[in-house]
Amino acid sequence: MKKVREGYFSEKLRDIAYAEQIDKLGNMQRKVYDIIKKHGPCSTEFIAITLNCYPHQITPRVKELREMNLVYFYDIGVSPTSGKAVSLWKATKIDPQLKLF
């Protein structure tokens, strides 16, 4: 039997659990996640403009994605509209092993 690296099986289970979370996303959650993943660090305002909706419709989706550990707070940016400080969100990196699925 071939020797398996320590931690290999736990990493596989983690990757499967991560993929299952992605599959369970609702329609709006999926849209928000895809924008954050595609555009990198972006604000709720940017996501709302991209989806042609209001920021108060995006904020709960970002919170849900944060609770699922799919996105995280990246930095503080400046809103081009108001000039006020805004939170920038970034998608959690997918491990190289998960990209194999």
Give the model confidence (pLDDT) of 34-48 as tens digits: 999 999 899 999 999
Neighbour-count burial for 39-59, b at 16+ CB within 10 Å, e otherwise? eeebbbbbbbbbeeeebeebe
∠ CA(23), CA(91), CA(69), 5° rounding?
A: 65
Give the model confidence (pLDDT) of 10-64 as tens digits: 666 666 666 666 778 889 999 999 999 999 899 999 999 999 999 999 999 999 9
Q: Is residue 86 part of a domain?
A: yes
The domain that contains 40 carries what CATH number?
1.10.10.10
| Domain span including residue 78 | 28-100
Q: Is residue 62 part of a domain?
A: yes
Phi and psi at residue 81, to the nearest 5°: -80, -55
Q: Is residue 84 part of a domain?
A: yes
CA–CA distance, 6 with 26 (Å, rounded to integer): 35
Into how many domains does the chain fold?
Answer: 1
CA–CA distance, 23 with 18 (Å, rounded to integer): 9
Q: Quote the pTM value.
A: 0.73
For every residue of 38-63, which 3-state class applies, written as one string?
HHCCEEHHHHHHHHCCCHHHHHHHHH
